[in-house]
Amino acid sequence: MAAAPVWSVDPRTGKQREQVAVEATAQEVDAAVRAAHEARDALTDRTVRAAFLRSAADELKAARDRLVEAADAETALGPVRLNGELARTCYQLRAFAGIVEEGAFLDVVIDHPDDTATPPVPDLRRYKIPLGVVAVYSASNFPFAFSVAGGDTASALAAGCPVVVKAHPDHPGLSELVAKVLRRAAARHGVPEGVLGLVHGFEAGLELIRHPLVAAAGFTGSVRGGRALFDAAAARPVPIPFHGELGSLNPVVVTEAAAAERGEAIGAGLAGSMTLGVGQFCVKPGLVLAPAGEAGDALVKSLTAAVSDTDAGVLLDHRMRDNFVAGVAERGELPDVESPVTPGAGGEHTVSAGFLTVPAGRLAEEGEHDLLLEECFGPVTVVARYQDDAEVRAVLSRLPGNLTATVQLSDAEAAGEGRGAELVQELTPLAGRVLVNGWPTGVAVAPAQHHGGPYPATTSTSTSVGGTAIERWLRPVVYQGTPEALLPAELKDGNPLGLPRRFNGGLEL
């Protein structure tokens, strides 16, 4: 049977543009994984890894015009957004190069023998080593930052792990272009091209997660798809770590005092956040707990005006558009649900932004309104109007894990008065990032960043953004009683590599 062709599709028209590849066979997936496995020794030298990552950023920047044009043709995200995302991707690659050079991620700990301890301590030397080949499953909504050259790939390469990427079907042509750019960067430093493999096709994705030489996987996408891969990773004869980002509602709590103090501003800010990128951000606020009464009315009025002024937009593909139109229609038919601005089809290929309102009491107990507690991908949010703090607590107690949770406080509450601190603590168990008087869209690439959260936000406790994302692809190993001549350079007493480490209980920078 001939391999199925992979087409580039224009989401603005739904028409195929060009054939860019074919779906990978099981044999081709095997070849890509084996080539990556054979390239792992080329990443042993941290100097080479850092140089490779910087060259990758340079090459992507040099190819910017062509890459942005290809990305826009396949995603309709627009040149402004895509240029910004590509700049972020380049910055991320350079940031990981710096982390590799610094070496703190190796977590070097050396303890000399101590016969006076109980029990006695032998000579112990611990650091972290790369896991091996990492399978990366690209996201649809970030064709640069969470795709072939995105955070999973960058952090895995930084850890010393070769990568095989399963391209997302929404931007296959761009995926091919970016893979070529990264391989060109690898060649500049004598790293085999196999260090970055690329495969297309649903079956190829399953073959990839099952391959015995794949040591870990990173995924960004839907709960259904991510859970299927997570289960496959766990069902292998040798299970592997699966770091998946699956879905998030990103709740927002607006206190009555905050709504009274600046309800109009909160409504306008919410509109901007929920419609950013046509609502296709993983941290879009999908549920907002706002007070009933006049204070909440001002927020809803402002939100109505701002969302009404938002132009219809194109989603990443027509399947997502169909799911959005059907999903908001089903939600809108539930009892006591109203649509101040009705979301749905904006045209044959577009969608219109909108939002729904519902009494918070409807969400406090299990029932048909549970649908409103599920993520709906696109420009829509649900505003649940609460009567008192008890209803807020009841709804929060029913929420699954999230990437973010936000609280909008008054000035006095932010200064420590009222329930401000209590609300922050109530939100903390729900999410990996808790915001006060901000909006969750926009995930800074910074050392302190955490982009993850309790299931189903993610399947692990790790982050996919920020410097600590590298930790996903490493495992610790300790050498006991090993002669100096047999130790890796990272663990020698003289510290020939100049690494930060903990030496006999003391921190050495």
Residues marked as catalytic: 245, 282
Cα dist from 66 to 79, 117, 171, whole Å: 11, 63, 14
Distance CA 185, CA 152 (A): 18
Contact 381, 337 (CB under 8 A): no
Residue type, 147: S
Cβ of 400: how many Cβ atoms within 10 Å?
A: 18
DSSP lists the bridge partners of residue 127 as: 477
Residue type, 282: C
Distance CA 93, CA 264 (A): 39
Contact 341, 355 (CB under 8 A): yes
In 3-state terms the chain splits into helix, strand, coil percentages (rounded to 5) of 45, 20, 35
Secondary structure letter of residue 235 according to DSSP: H
Cβ of 51: how many Cβ atoms within 10 Å?
A: 18
Q: Which of 133, 140, 164, 136 is nearest to 151 (CA)?
A: 136
Distance CA 22, CA 6 (A): 5
Q: Which of 36, 220, 221 is nearest to 134 (CA)?
A: 36
Cβ burial of 125 (10 Å; 0-12, 13-18, 19+) is buried
